[in-house]
Chain A
């Protein structure tokens, strides 16, 4: 069965420190993975996806198929990075395709 695990409910770092939000997945097919972010009082929005191999707002994420991971990293956290982060997997199963979200990690960047 497809599953996305974000082991940390809460993560707190200081401004300027490196940050890593962990994401592990379970999926028998070829994974398509995404990070979505929800800033306070804003809508859920796509941050980045693994197929684009891009860096958005200083964040990067590398798909590691051996470790079934897609961790989100930023070398120097900023206060404006404080938000809820969801890792999501595009999964096919039971005749349907859909996004399966992890439970999310709330990141707080302290001044």
Chain B
């Protein structure tokens, strides 16, 4: 299995809702990433997990809460989001977080709309 999968594909939520995005890979990768991509903009890194530990938090607001239950799964818990948080949320994985030579494999993304 050489794919990163993400669920759901689309999510619409109100500002008071709590929801979670899920990401899964079975390539044995030890690094997993969350990116945010606004329309017509490049992906922006949010979080990096390396060996199931949070290694990078790019000053993301606390209404986004990542979780890595095991080496294959990555969640992003959402609570009290704002309309400006509407975006495509991409998950990626790579063999190792610290090696530039490791290819990052991206999932298809979850399109999030906050009303």
- A residues near B (Cβ < 8 Å) are 32, 42-46, 49, 51, 86, 90, 96-99, 101-104
Q: How many residues of B contact A (CB 8 A)?
A: 23
* Residues A97 and B42 in contact, CB atoms below 8 Å apart: no
A-B pairs with CB below 8 Å: how many?
43
A98 to B92, CA, bound (A): 12
Which residues of chain B are within 8 angstroms of A90 by Cβ–Cβ distance?
A: 100
- Summarize B's interface: helix, strand, loop or mixed: loop
- Summarize A's interface: helix, strand, loop or mixed: strand
Which residues of chain B are within 8 angstroms of A104 by Cβ–Cβ distance?
A: 40-42
- Which stretch in B13-21, B79-87, B103-111 binds the other chain? B103-111
A97 with B109, Cβ < 8 A, contacts A46-B104, A102-B42, A104-B42 known: no
* Residues A86 and B109 in contact, CB atoms below 8 Å apart: no
A97 with B98, Cβ < 8 A, contacts A43-B109, A86-B42, A102-B42 known: yes
Task: Give B21-61 as 1s and 0s: 1 = Cβ < 8 Å from A's Cβ atoms.
Answer: 00000000000000000001111110010000001101000
